[in-house]
Amino acid sequence: MPATSIEALHRSVEWAASDVDAQVNHLLQKTALELLLAYHTRLTFIKVFEGSVPTSELQAAVEEPVRHWMGDHVPMGSDLRKRTCFEPGFGPAAEAILKFAGDHGVDLIVMGVERLDPVMAAHVPKSATAYEAVRNASCPLLPVR
């Protein structure tokens, strides 16, 4: 069963450790998986292709990490394997994610965002995807780095 409180989640991370980002990422994945199993919900992974429609080989290559994650985290006999799918999206990323969410009645979007080194961040154009998605989402959106 998922942790019973935010305090319990907070206590499960060694915040001063050098790998705190990895600990939090692992904790979020574990908690999300526990919630999915407890509430019999559906899990959809979306990869947005902002250019042209990908080849079947590219799409298969993008789906491979999802299959690997499933193998590592979802129990073999779990019906969550049947309730998990991969969906390609096309066009601007935030727009494609929010369109999918609206069309399918999504209750929560969990979106990965990258953390840039401060020196690199000063020289790289800012991605508006997470900002646009958070700003325009019709359901709760949790950005995770």
Is position 47 within any domain? yes
Q: How many domains does the chain have?
A: 1
Q: What is the mean pLDDT of the chain?
A: 77
Tell whether the model's pLDDT for residue 1 goes beyond 50: no
Is position 94 within any domain? yes
For residue 27, what are the domain limits? 6-144
What pLDDT digit, counting tens, does each position of 19-55 carry? 777 777 777 777 777 777 788 888 888 888 887 777 8
Is position 126 within any domain? yes
pTM of the model: 0.66
Is position 91 within any domain? yes
Is position 57 within any domain? yes
Is position 1 within any domain? no
What whole-number distance in Å separates Cα of residue 106 and Cα of residue 43?
10
CATH code of residue 31: 3.40.50.620
First to last CA, the chain: 24
